[in-house]
Amino acid sequence: MIRLWWAQVRAVVRLEMKKTFFARRGLWIYILALLPLLLFLGHNFQISRQHAKLQRLASQSERLLSSEDLLSVQPGMTGQDVVARLGKPPQRFHWNDQVQSGNDSFVNIPHESYRYSDGRVDLWVDLAGDKVTNVNLRGGENLGEDTIVFAGVFQFFYLRLAIFFGCLGIFMNLFRGEILDKSLHFYFLAPIRREVLMVGKFVAGLLATCVIFVTSELLQIVVFTANYSPNVRDLYLYHNHGLGAAAAYLGVTILACVGYGAFFLAAGMLFRNPILPAAGILIWEAVNPFLPTLLQKFSVIYYLKALCPVDIPTPPGTPALLALLVSNSDPVSSPVAILGVVTVALLVLYVSSLQVRRMEINYTSE
Asked if 17 touches another protein (CB under 8 A), the answer is no
Q: How do the residues of the chain divide into helix, strand and coil, expressed in percent and rounded to 5?
A: 65, 10, 20
Give 290's DSSP letter: G
State the nearest-atom distance from the C-beta of 20 to another protein, in Å: 11
Backbone torsions φ then ψ of 260, nearest 5 degrees: -65, -35
Span 191-230, contacts to another protein by CB under 8 A = 191-194, 196
State the nearest-atom distance from the C-beta of 199 to another protein, in Å: 13
Give the number of residues in contact with another protein, rule: CB under 8 A. Answer: 31
Q: Hey, what long-range contacts does 265-268 have (CB within 8 A, 24 or more apart)?
A: 265/171, 265/172, 265/174, 265/175, 265/198, 265/201, 265/202, 265/205, 265/348, 265/349, 265/352, 266/348, 266/349, 266/351, 266/352, 266/355, 267/172, 268/171, 268/172, 268/173, 268/174, 268/175, 268/176, 268/177
Asked if 51 touches another protein (CB under 8 A), the answer is no
Q: Tell which one of 97, 130, 181, 330 touches another protein (CB under 8 A).
A: 181
CB of 23 or CB of 161, closer to another protein:
23
| Residues contacting 127, CB < 8 A, separation 6+ | 79, 82, 111, 112, 113, 114, 133
Contact flags string 306-345 toward another protein, x per CB under 8 A: ----------------------------------------
Asked if 138 touches another protein (CB under 8 A), the answer is no
State the nearest-atom distance from the C-beta of 220 to another protein, in Å: 31
Instruction: Return the closest-CA partner of residue 199 out of 171, 234, 229.
Output: 171
Stretch that binds another protein, among 138-146, 158-166, 343-351, 355-363 (CB under 8 A): 355-363
Asked if 2 touches another protein (CB under 8 A), the answer is no
Stretch that binds another protein, among 80-88, 175-183, 293-301, 330-338 (CB under 8 A): 175-183
Stretch that binds another protein, among 8-16, 90-98, 137-145, 246-254 (CB under 8 A): 8-16
Kindly provide the residue ranges of all beta strands, DSSP E only, lying in the chain, ordered along the sequence.
Answer: 91-100, 106-117, 121-128, 131-139
**In the complex, which residues of this chain contact another protein (CB under 8 A)?**
4, 7-8, 11-12, 14-15, 18-19, 22, 181-183, 185-194, 196, 357-358, 360-363, 365
